[in-house]
Every structure is written in structure tokens, then in C-alpha cells.
Amino acid sequence: MARTRLVAGNWKMHGSRPANRALVDAILKSLPRDAECAICPPFPYLAEVAEQLRGSSVALGAQNVSEHAQGAHTGEVSAAMLKEVGCRYAIVGHSERRQIYGETDAQVAAKFAAARKAGLTPILCVGETLAEREAGRTEDVVARQLGAVQFADGVLAYEPVWAIGTGRNATPEQAQAVHAFLRKRLQQDATILYGGSVKAQNAAAIFAMPDVDGGLIGGASLVAEDFLAILQAAGIEAKAGSKKVVALSIIGLVLLQHGKGADMGSGFGGGASGSLFGATGSANFLSRTTAVMAAVFFILSLALAYVATRRPVEEGGGVIDSIRKQQAEKPAPKAEEKPAAQPQAPAPAEAPKDKQVPQ
């Protein structure tokens, strides 16, 4: 079974009603085709964002969930409540919950089970600190965190703590090594995301790793252009994978029909061509199937080539270029004519304000 590719945006404790509306509008307007994605706003905005996402392919997720179903648990939100408001996903065990709020492996396991019971898909986060990595304990740590959970019907996210909001990035090879280790402990069709400071600049290289199925995105999910670029990187890999499947299927059918080592020309020039265009002789099932798949592959290749020639080729092409082009084409407002003013002494320059970048 093919693995599901997913990109989920974790907004953390950022946002406002106007900012959220503008961000979601921008994402929905330029959402890449075939992109499987979710966004996880703070609790107060879930209902409003759910309404904005209605009818779209973007799923809603929560950043946390209580392990309790109901009762005297002030400040907690149950899985049933999240399900009722429209959530499909719930993040559990994020490193910030473990590190700052002291969530234990047992508590994370209880939250995972509560989410599943309510019909949510839990996104389980695992990952090591810098000290644990430098001590060579990465595999021990993630194996312990995963082993504490009865993992089924969920999504796994590997988030090295030392690469979250620190400006440090794991290399694609480092991410792949841990993902491959985790996959050996799961069913082969399990979805495993990477979540250590994924940005538009490094998403394609990370998503190209064979055991990386997408990303859990932090700060970059708050900027429409960056999030769209990450979604596009995930979508491109999915389309390339589909094309490879079609090509391998054709090769397999030809080998089955004509024997190992038979040349491709005889495969498509013999029974396949005759069965399609009415030549003398009855073609068998494999001949017909080979010809049909060859025709589909040929048409698909032409279509993809045409689309590629119609898209921008500069760096950052695709949906990002289209957004920038639209902004560049907006006419600049005309300046109103004003009477000449008497010269005045220049005002003192205002000190620049620090710009905060969300993590």
C-alpha cells in the first residue's frame, strides 16, 4: 500500500483573527494540486478556521489534546470536543509539551489513545535533545518514546529537539537515518513526517529521502509563500513517484510477455500493436494491457512536458512566482498634487524597531 504524503502546519501560539483569515485565504487560493495538508491553529481559532476550510482539501488539526474524556480538568480540551469542531488530526507529544510542560511518555501514550478513540488521527512527535544526540543515544530515545505508545492508525513525526527554532538543521541524510530506523518498528505503509526547521529552501531535499513522507512545519507555516513552496515540494515528489510506478509497470508487463531480456521494440511492435490496430491474429491479455499502459504513459509524459514549458523556470518558480507576478502587476497609487511647502528642518530619525521572527 502506498504511503500517504502529508504536510501539516503547526501555528503554535501565533495568530489573530484577521491574520488567520488572510493566511488561510492565501493558502487556499494557490494550493498545489494533489497536496495533502493540514493546519493546526491555536484552540480559540479552531471553529473559525474550520468554517473557512469547509469544502476544501485542507484538514484541520489541534496542537494538543487531553488524555481525559471529560470531568473536572480546568483548561483541558477533550478529543471528542476537537472532533466535534471539525478536527481530523491532533498533535501529541510535541517536544515543547515534553520539555516545558513535563509531559511523560505515559501521558503522551494516554493522549494518543484518547485521540484514536474519538476518531482523530494522532500525530505522535518523537525526537532527541542535542545532548542525547552528541552522546549517541538518538536511537535509544526515539525507540523509547515510540515504544511507550500502542501505535496504530496514526502519523509519526520525527522532530530533533536541537533543530526546532534554533536555526540549526539536520541534513537530509541525518533525517533519513532516523526515519529508516523508525520505519523498521512500524508497518511499511506508516506515514513518517520530519519536523526540524523545515523551510522552503530545504524542503525538496528532505522530502526526496526515501523514508520521509512529508513535514510537520512550524514557523514557515505562518508565511503563505513559504508554506505553499513546501507543499509544492511535497507534491512534485508525489507526481514523480506516480510516473515511476507507471514506467515500471510497463517494463514488467513487457518482460512477462516476451521473457527476460526481450527488447522493448518487439514488445510494442508485435502483439501489442496488432491488437490495437486490428492486424491479423488474436492478441493475448498481456499484449493489450501493455499497449494501453504504453499509450497512457506516452500521453501523460506529453501533458507533463507541456505543463513544464508553461511554468516559470526561474528560481522559486511555480505558485510562488505567480503570487509575486500578481503583486508586481498591481498599479502603484497615483500621488496627489500638493502645493509647494515651505522648507522645514528635517525631523530626527526614528530608531529602528526589532523584528520578531516566530519560531
**Is-contact 291 284, C-beta < 8 A?**
no
**Is-contact 167 200, C-beta < 8 A?**
no
Q: Which of 21, 74, 80, 81 is nearest to 45 (CA)?
A: 21
Q: Could you give the CA distance from residue 227 to residue 23 in angstroms, rounded to a whole number?
A: 10
C-alpha dihedral (218, 219, 223, 227), degrees to nearest 10: -30
Active-site positions?
A: 94, 159
Helices (H), the chain: 17-29, 46-53, 79-85, 95-101, 105-117, 130-134, 138-147, 172-183, 203-207, 224-258, 264-269, 271-277, 285-310, 319-329
Residues 6+ apart with CB under 8 A from 138: 128, 132, 160, 178
| Angle made by CA atoms 283, 287, 291, in degrees to the nearest 5 | 120
